[in-house]
Structure 1
């Protein structure tokens, strides 16, 4: 029993240390060190000497930024506050994306809604150009009133999406049984854009009288392995990077319980359970 208590306390300490280290780096690294504006230049505002970036969208344009280089593994994170008030049809995105055909992609997409109705957070995974792996949750807080942490752990064994250090999705590497898994170097991207499909299946459109819509981002340090080639540099798969260490090959006991709680209480769509789209569940859903 005492050994179990020790392990439990050790896991908690590791989580706290990691969160503090990330927060410390956030306060040091400015936007220009790792990122660049990619579109909508006049719709991007730098705040607090580059420690915060605000993207805006109006009828003329949205906006976005991306990392200057690509990565092959890591723990990627951003603190985000999404547009408030009536945001139906407005999509705030934070994701990893590869270049070229048959691309890989890991998505956070915040699907706006009519004022007073909850945001939906959608995640998706593309591997070798194949996506349609959407999961959606209702957040347990209002993402418009303050910043929250959104993270993607990507290593050779699993991909985990986190909200405020709570895992909300796990995608395992099952390439040994023919399931696609990202193998290409990916760029970090954030954007605010017109997604008329996003609310009520596209039936609820943007109310432009509420424009400009604004999303704010903080935390521009990057804990990732740089990979300059199209395919991941093999070096990025090494266990010398802490995020590839064995302890990150699967969720620990605390994180697993948190994940099960999210699936039970907050998940409102899972492609694995959509028999209209998939009469036979995709192979990765069975493992």
Structure 2
């Protein structure tokens, strides 16, 4: 498949340098968070310098003088792009606006992987955005695979407190030697801490950054009950503010680009706990269909009562509301609900 290069200038400088008083509250909070995680020497890369198109020919288009990239899905193909290099730890984010209307079966993914290098022992960190039938909200799933551990999965799924089709929202992955943190805007939604019991299943090999849109009809909406309806195509996902700041593979330690391990501030930890209590709709630690006993890193307490044996949340209130990859899916019940 031909590889095409494009030019897109991320606006990291604007994120880092804008005065918080001149930004909307959400943008100001995110700017403060990013500023606390990245060194002052962090610099922006153009799309041409940092990324390359993977597939989709004309289904990848640049807009706004090359400052936004659109990837679309139609009957012919999806589309995707990737970083030119691989990274060993870092902070990676993008502002994303998802397709609206009837999006059942559509999957938009923003993720890190080394599957092109380690076919059977690959690592992966995913944001997977799962489309839905008209009137139902998009869902967000995070996955953590280490050393080819797709059978172990470690998937979680969430509703959102906003409509991701109406505006851009930032999604970020912070990956260090000891921790992995997923963020939505300034809110951390999941933290994975390295434990001895995880061993090689904690992602540890250099990974590249990817963004794709593709047809997940076989599993993405109600376990495959609702397929992509191409009457509503093209489905367009918009990306901007692409931030790629990590340790290039093979760079000698210490590497300034790594988002070094640090204790999560109490305010952010409280925000994460509130998010998870209100919006998490599936947790692998509570799934007794796939796992007869919790995986070793799971600490399951009284909160397990909020989840069914399938790992799905008992209350539909957690699914949020309109206002409030590519190739495979391991396991059974992870994507069974709308």
1:145 equivalent in alignment to 2:166: yes
CA distance change for structure 1 residues 267 and 176 in 2, over 3 Å: closer, same or farther?
A: closer
Aligned to 1:286, the other structure's residue is in SS state coil
CA distance change for structure 1 residues 41 and 154 in 2, over 3 Å: closer, same or farther?
A: same
- Aligned pairs (5 A) from 1:138-217: 138-175=159-196, 178=199, 180-196=201-217, 197-217=219-239
Residue matched to 2:102 = 86
Aligned-partner Cα distance in 2 for 1:107–1:260: 20
Aligned-partner Cα distance in 1 for 2:165–2:190: 22
**Given the alignment, which residue of 277, 280, 287 partners 2:293?**
280
Residue matched to 1:260 = 273
TM-score (norm 2): 0.73
Residue matched to 1:121 = 140
Residue matched to 2:16 = none
- Per-residue CA deviation, residues 98-133 of structure 1 (Å, 9 max, x unaligned), is 122300000000000011111110000000000311
TM-score (norm 1): 0.86
Contiguous gaps of at least 5 residues in structure 2? 1-27, 301-338
- Aligned pairs (5 A) from 1:59-70: 59-70=75-86
1:77 equivalent in alignment to 2:99: no
CA distance change for structure 1 residues 51 and 271 in 2, over 3 Å: closer, same or farther?
A: same
Contiguous gaps of at least 5 residues in structure 1? 1-12
Residue matched to 1:108 = 127
- Per-residue CA deviation, residues 212-248 of structure 1 (Å, 9 max, x unaligned), is 11000012341111115xxxx562xx3745621xxx4
CA distance change for structure 1 residues 149 and 14 in 2, over 3 Å: closer, same or farther?
A: closer
Aligned-partner Cα distance in 2 for 1:270–1:47: 38
Aligned-partner Cα distance in 2 for 1:20–1:157: 20
1:45 equivalent in alignment to 2:61: yes
Aligned to 1:255, the other structure's residue is in SS state helix
Shift of 1:250: 3.2
Q: How many residues align?
A: 265
Residue matched to 2:6 = none
Shift of 1:33: 2.0
Aligned-partner Cα distance in 2 for 1:91–1:177: 28
Aligned-partner Cα distance in 2 for 1:265–1:284: 22
Aligned to 1:261, the other structure's residue is in SS state helix
Aligned-partner Cα distance in 2 for 1:243–1:34: 19
Shift of 1:36: 0.8
**Given the alignment, which residue of 72, 79, 85 partners 1:56?**
72
CA distance change for structure 1 residues 250 and 264 in 2, over 3 Å: closer, same or farther?
A: same
CA distance change for structure 1 residues 249 and 89 in 2, over 3 Å: closer, same or farther?
A: same
Structure number with higher helix proportion: 1
Residue matched to 1:136 = 157
